[in-house]
């Protein structure tokens, strides 16, 4: 298979895709439902993301981004949860791409075993197109701009009142550690996902992670009532942003022009979303994947951390409770997505080895790292920032 048709593997390598790539033959009947676009002429680029098949497609009248999901991952209603959120954000001026509507008024198109969505290509450059999650920004300036873009989304999301998403694979929800009793909430989470509840390895690792993460939940619990529910992105990595400039010498001027890929979005809270941005961009977890015996060797980009938070607070200053919540939330936020990935690997792909990486390597491995001295350094940096006087710390312009 061509290197262009490889996807990001779980250890940072390029691997054969789990889903067949898009073809012009399958796109022709799809795009007939969008007559204003015209016929597809060629596939410009293929996305290396592993959970779907996607790419930029040139038609006779436009360039669009098309993504194809297996219906077990995203059926029509599952995609409409995301599309309603995107439409709301767009109406409030947030920098997000428009989901295109078919001649029949649909944005989520089911054809056979697949569900398709067609987006406009946003302004800017896909500068981090090949970057894998858990790899860092190119500069502190990029981190600052990413934080500002995330704050803009949160302001636009304030009056979006849709309920939380239904249980689905590959959603970064926040229910287990939002509860007074995480053990009981964990049992409910697993029970709603038969592939997880019936799996002894998942249950054992979930219990182990629950024990490791208990101190962070104790730290977070008093702050939870002050964290208003909010629909959030939950996957703000540099690769989910478009950028104004590709010149590496222009990093100080380059800024984020659009936020893309709302597949993990759900109703959580702002601190949860910021914690995910920290977890995705600031810690190089792939180093831990490839060398789990040396947790102290995992790079932490403290300069990017401060820039990300400064950028966020230049648009939306955090409350004192949100600032204090960031340390424990950063340790906790990945837990449900790790379980959701395990559900995807077990229930959709039937890939036990990949599932084990999610429920053991990521769920337990990350929990153990945050309980170690290296993880403590990151969390202490967040605690120190939260404790700093407002004029010196959190609300920096």
CATH number of the domain where residue 220 is located? 3.90.1200.10
Q: Is 392 inside any structural domain?
A: no
Residue 320 has pLDDT above 60, yes or no: yes
Among 60, 90, 120, the domain-final residue is: 120
Q: At 11, is the pLDDT very low, low, confident or very high (cuts 50, 70, 90)?
A: low
Domain shared by 239 and 307, yes or no: yes
Q: Which parts of 92-168 fold into alpha helices (H)?
A: 140-157
Domain that includes residue 79, residue range: 3-120
Q: At 291, is the pLDDT very low, low, confident or very high (cuts 50, 70, 90)?
A: confident
Q: Is 133 inside any structural domain?
A: no
Residue 58's DSSP bridge partners are 42, 63
Q: At 250, is the pLDDT very low, low, confident or very high (cuts 50, 70, 90)?
A: low
Domain shared by 90 and 154, yes or no: no
Structure-block tokens of residue 278:
């920290």
Domain shared by 98 and 184, yes or no: no
- How many whole angstroms separate alpha carbon 385 and alpha carbon 102? 48
Residues 6+ apart with CB under 8 A from 297: 287, 291
Contact 241, 146 (CB under 8 A): yes
Domain shared by 268 and 209, yes or no: yes
Domain shared by 80 and 156, yes or no: no
Q: Is 393 left (phi over 0), alpha (psi -120 to 50) or beta?
A: alpha
Q: Is 130 inside any structural domain?
A: no
Residue 268's DSSP bridge partners are 230
Domain shared by 321 and 286, yes or no: yes
Domain shared by 277 and 149, yes or no: yes
Q: At 389, is the pLDDT very low, low, confident or very high (cuts 50, 70, 90)?
A: confident
Residue 1 has pLDDT above 50, yes or no: no
Domain shared by 222 and 328, yes or no: yes
Q: Is 43 inside any structural domain?
A: yes
Across the chain, what does the average pLDDT equal? 93
Among 70, 91, 120, the domain-final residue is: 120
More confident residue, 25 or 12: 25
Residues 6+ apart with CB under 8 A from 389: none
Residue-wise pLDDT for 35-65, tens only, equals 999 999 999 999 888 899 999 999 999 999 9
DSSP code, position 128: T
Q: Is 135 inside any structural domain?
A: no
Domain shared by 185 and 218, yes or no: yes
- Mean pLDDT value across residues 175-201: 97
Q: Is 396 inside any structural domain?
A: no
The Cα-based distances of 266 to 49, 84, 157, 348 in angstroms read 20, 12, 11, 21
The Cα-based distances of 376 to 136, 246, 301 in angstroms read 19, 35, 14
Which H/E stretch holds residue 269? Answer: strand 266-269
Give the domain CATH number at 84.
3.30.200.20
Among 70, 88, 120, the domain-final residue is: 120
Contact 120, 57 (CB under 8 A): no
Residue-wise pLDDT for 328-353, tens only, equals 999 999 999 999 999 999 999 999 99
| Per-residue pLDDT, 129 | 87
Residue-wise pLDDT for 105-161, tens only, equals 999 999 999 999 999 999 999 999 888 878 899 999 999 999 999 999 999 999 999
Structure-block tokens of residue 337:
């997505």
Q: At 253, is the pLDDT very low, low, confident or very high (cuts 50, 70, 90)?
A: low
Percent of the chain with pLDDT strictly greater than 90: 85
Of 7, 114, 13, 21, nearest to 50 by C-alpha is: 7
Domain shared by 175 and 221, yes or no: yes
Domain shared by 146 and 112, yes or no: no
Of 84, 75, 88, 57, nearest to 116 by C-alpha is: 75
pTM: 0.94
- How many whole angstroms separate alpha carbon 339 and alpha carbon 81? 20
Domain shared by 79 and 193, yes or no: no
User: Number of structural domains, the chain?
Assistant: 2
Q: Is 395 inside any structural domain?
A: no
- How many whole angstroms separate alpha carbon 70 and alpha carbon 116? 9
As a residue count, the chain comes to: 397
Q: Is 129 inside any structural domain?
A: no
* Radius of gyration from C-alpha coordinates of the chain: 20
């Amino acid at each position: 298979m061509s290197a262009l048709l490889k996807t990001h593997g779980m250890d940072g390598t390029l691997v054969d895709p789990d889903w067949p790539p898009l073809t012009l033959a399958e796109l022709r009947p799809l795009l007939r439902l969008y007559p204003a676009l015209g016929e597809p002429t060629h596939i410009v680029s293929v996305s290396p993301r592993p959970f779907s098949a996607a790419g930029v497609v040139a038609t006779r009248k436009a360039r669009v981004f098309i993504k194809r999901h297996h219906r077990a991952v995203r059926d029509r209603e599952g995609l409409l949860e995301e599309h309603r959120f995107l439409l709301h954000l767009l109406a409030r001026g947030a920098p997000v791409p428009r989901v295109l509507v078919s001649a029949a008024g649909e944005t989520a198109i089911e054809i056979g075993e697949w569900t398709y969505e067609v987006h406009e290509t946003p302004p800017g450059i896909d500068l981090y197109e090949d970057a894998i999650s858990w790899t860092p920004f190119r500069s502190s300036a990029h981190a600052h701009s990413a934080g500002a873009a995330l704050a803009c989304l949160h302001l636009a999301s304030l009056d979006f009142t849709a309920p939380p998403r239904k249980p689905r694979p590959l959603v970064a929800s926040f229910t287990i550690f939002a509860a007074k009793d995480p053990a009981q909430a964990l049992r409910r989470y697993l029970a709603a996902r038969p592939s997880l509840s019936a799996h002894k390895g998942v249950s054992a690792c979930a219990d182990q992670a629950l024990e490791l993460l208990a101190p962070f939940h104790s730290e977070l619990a008093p702050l939870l009532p002050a964290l208003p529910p909010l629909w959030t992105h939950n996957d703000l990595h540099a690769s989910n942003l478009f950028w104004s400039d590709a010149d590496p010498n222009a990093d100080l001027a380059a800024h984020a022009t659009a936020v893309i890929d709302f597949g993990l979005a759900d109703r959580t809270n702002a601190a949860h979303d910021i914690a995910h941005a920290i977890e995705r961009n600031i810690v190089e977890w792939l180093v831990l994947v490839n060398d789990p015996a040396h947790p102290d060797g995992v790079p932490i980009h403290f300069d990017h951390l401060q820039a990300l938070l400064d950028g966020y607070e230049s648009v939306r200053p955090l409350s004192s409770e949100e600032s204090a919540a960031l340390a424990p939330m950063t340790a906790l936020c990945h837990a449900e997505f790790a379980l959701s990935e395990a559900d995807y690997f077990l229930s959709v792909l039937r890939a036990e080895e990949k599932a084990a990486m999610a429920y053991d390597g990521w769920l337990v491995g990350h929990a153990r790292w945050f309980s170690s001295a290296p993880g403590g350094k990151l969390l202490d940096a967040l605690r120190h920032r939260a404790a700093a006087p407002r004029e010196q710390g959190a609300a920096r312009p």
